[in-house]
Amino acid sequence: MSEKYREYAYGGIGIDFLLILLFSALGYFVYHGVDGFLAMLILTILYALATLLSLIPFAGAFFQWLVMTYAIRPFVFHLTHIYSTWLTSVAFWVYLGLGIIITLIMSLIVLAILLH
Chain segment 19-76, per-residue pLDDT in tens = 999 999 999 999 999 999 999 999 999 999 999 999 999 999 999 999 999 999 999 9
Nearest alpha-carbon partner for 64 in 49, 77, 76, 81: 49
Whole-prediction pTM: 0.87
| Number of structural domains found in the chain | 1
For residues 98 and 113, give the distance between their C-alpha atoms in angstroms, rounded to a whole number: 23
Rounded Cα gap, residues 73 and 47, in angstroms? 9
For residue 63, give its domain range.
Answer: 3-115
Catalogue the E-assigned strands of the chain. none
